[in-house]
Chain A
Amino acid sequence: MSTYTAGLLADVGILTLGALSVYIILATGQLSLGNAGFMAIGAYLSSYLTVIAGVPLTSALLIAATVSGTIGVVIGFPALRLKGIFLAMATLGFGEMVRSLFLNLDITGGAGGFHGMAHISVGYVWIWVGLILLLVWLMESSRIWLEMRAVADDETAANLIGLNTTMTKIGAFGMSAAVAAVSGGLFAHHHVYIEPGNFGFERSIDFVLAVILGGSTIGAGSLVGAALLVLLPEQLRALDDWRPAAFGALLIIVLLIRRQGILDRRLLRRLVPHKQTA
């Protein structure tokens, strides 16, 4: 596999995880525009652990996911008092705050960035992507996922039938932050150099875009969206300067035709027929 292809595939994998982190929150009806902040925490923390503390990468990623997940829960408590556009703005503020923190933090290189990480293969990236996709796929058939969907559908009714809606939303926030951190850790160790600019607002928008485009009602949609976001601009290179405009037009067309995104359960059932169980 050429370095170019491997790089693209790794980027698809990393973006898939970022998109999944947004998808998890979206399942409870909340929109986060600050997941690049959690990605930054994962990237810097795992890099610091592997480069400075000599922790093996897999352990560093797990530690970063745990720390980021905990921060997600802590941030989630005040943030989830807000809803809709207000929550989106608050999470956006959090993301920018984290980026600014790393910009001014000398221990992680400040504006000069952080380097020294050992390069990881595309295969290692995809082992993580596969594992997390599998976990999300398993969860999508669980009662906890149903509880998340219930909160998204009608939070008041969910509460009145016995669902602790606050804990459901906080839990989703924590899970989302952990997945975004893994995405960040893999990004850092694939690109072997990180700087605060890697984790700006545009990164969070890419995550959201991948979910909306690929499919916001099924985890595998994040994979489809990430593949399109990474690979499509490459296929449109022939258009030179018109490439972003053509890409934008394609996005609008797809969303006009399929509001739920390209992949949904109905399409998946058609593609992969299976027996319906109780």
Chain B
Amino acid sequence: MNKPLLQLSDVTKSFGGIKALSGLCCEVRQGQIVGVIGPNGAGKTTLFNVITGAYRANSGEVFLDRQPITHWRPYRIARAGAVRTFQNIRLFSSMTVWEHLLVAQPGQGAWWRRALPTNWADGAAVARAEEVLEFFGLQEVRHQSARSLSYGTQRKVEMARALTASPRMLLLDEPVAGMNHDEAEDIRRLMLRLRDGGLTILLIEHDMGFVMNLCDYLYVLDFGVLIAKGLPGEIQADPIVMDAYLGKEA
């Protein structure tokens, strides 16, 4: 079995008197697609925020490849390999698709290369951006303002931006929310290709068909508490999960 890339040990995050995450322990193994599911307000996005450093855990530890990252600043965690997308798309309003793919390669290449025109001095960054652009099939829209694109394409641009950073782990917050079946299927295929290429993916998603067809392992949260974990088939049959989230068939 692959070694764990991400580990959370007894992580708690509170906002005032409300515990958004309560003593959470979980791990994500390398090369797996792991899903986090649960009802709204279960603490899924808070979990992403704690992992990526946007929020600091009140207690407990987060490890990325055995390194404690609990108190690291977000940019350092991203550079260490955990890069995310957002529940509400957060693209840079002044940038084209192509610019999004260049900007998300911080810390890669000498500073003087980064200070000179990309096309002259930064061949590696251009090559990486070109590779990701092609992977997501975004060549047609490369010079368009990212914010002017359709919702589904904007989601793809956000994923592409995260991927150009060459992460070891991609954290996707509702990657197919608002997409039609064909677009979601397209994203599913891309994610499987990424996993087959060795990338680890942690995702939050409400589309159960999508999650069950894609994920290797699942965690279920409810009110900040881990109520179940296991293979998709096990989760679907778990009475606690059915009661708290999935519901029972009539």
* Interface residue ranges, A against B (CB under 8 Å): 138-139, 141-144, 146-147, 149-150, 152-154, 156-165, 217, 276-278
Contacts and interface: CB of A to CB of B under 8 A. Distances in A.
Contact of A149 (B79, B83, B92, B142): B92
Contact of B114 (A144, A149, A159, A277): A144
A162 B79 contact: yes
A165 B75 contact: yes
Contacts of B250: none
B219 interface: no
Nearest to A141: B117
A226 B104 CA distance: 34
Interface residues of B, number: 43
A69 to B, nearest CB: 15
Contacts of A161: 78, 83-84, 103-104, 106, 161-162, 165
Contacts of A278: 98, 119, 126, 130, 142
B73 interface: yes
16 contacts: A141-B117, A142-B116, A143-B118, A149-B103, A153-B95, A158-B103, A159-B74, A160-B78, A161-B84, A161-B103, A161-B106, A162-B78, A162-B165, A163-B106, A165-B75, A277-B119
Contacts of A163: 75, 103, 106
B115 A149 contact: no
Contacts, number: 100
Contact of A139 (B75, B84, B115, B162): B115
A162 B73 contact: no
B117 A162 contact: no
B180 interface: no
Nearest to B114: A143
Contacts of A142: 114-118, 121-122
Contacts of B119: 141, 277-278
Contact of B95 (A150, A156, A160, A165): A150
A157 B98 contact: no
A153 to B, nearest CB: 4
A142 B116 CA distance: 5
B163 to A, nearest CB: 11
Interface of B: 52-54, 73-75, 78-79, 83-84, 86, 90, 92-95, 98-99, 102-107, 109, 111, 113-119, 121-122, 125-126, 130, 142-143, 161-162, 165
B48 to A, nearest CB: 10
Contacts of B118: 141-143
Nearest to B80: A162
A152 B93 CA distance: 9
A162 B106 CA distance: 6
Nearest to A153: B92
Contacts of A139: 115-116
A149 B146 CA distance: 14
Contacts of B130: 278
B107 A143 contact: no
A276 B143 CA distance: 9
A161 to B, nearest CB: 5
Given A161-B165, A163-B103, A152 B78 contact: no
A139 B121 CA distance: 11
Nearest to B129: A278
Given A141-B118, A142-B114, 20 more contacts: A141-B117, A142-B115, A143-B102, A146-B95, A146-B99, A147-B103, A149-B95, A150-B95, A153-B93, A157-B86, A160-B54, A161-B84, A161-B106, A161-B161, A162-B78, A163-B75, A163-B103, A277-B119, A278-B98, A278-B142
Contacts of B90: 154, 156-157
Closest CB pairs A-B (n = 4): A162-B78, A141-B117, A153-B92, A146-B103
B71 to A, nearest CB: 15
Q: Which of A138, A156, A163 has the most CB of B within 10 A?
A: A163
B103 to A, nearest CB: 4
Given A146-B99, A149-B95, A162 B115 contact: no
Contacts of A144: 111, 114-115
B248 to A, nearest CB: 38
Contact of B117 (A138, A147, A154): A138
Contacts of A152: 94
B73 A159 contact: yes
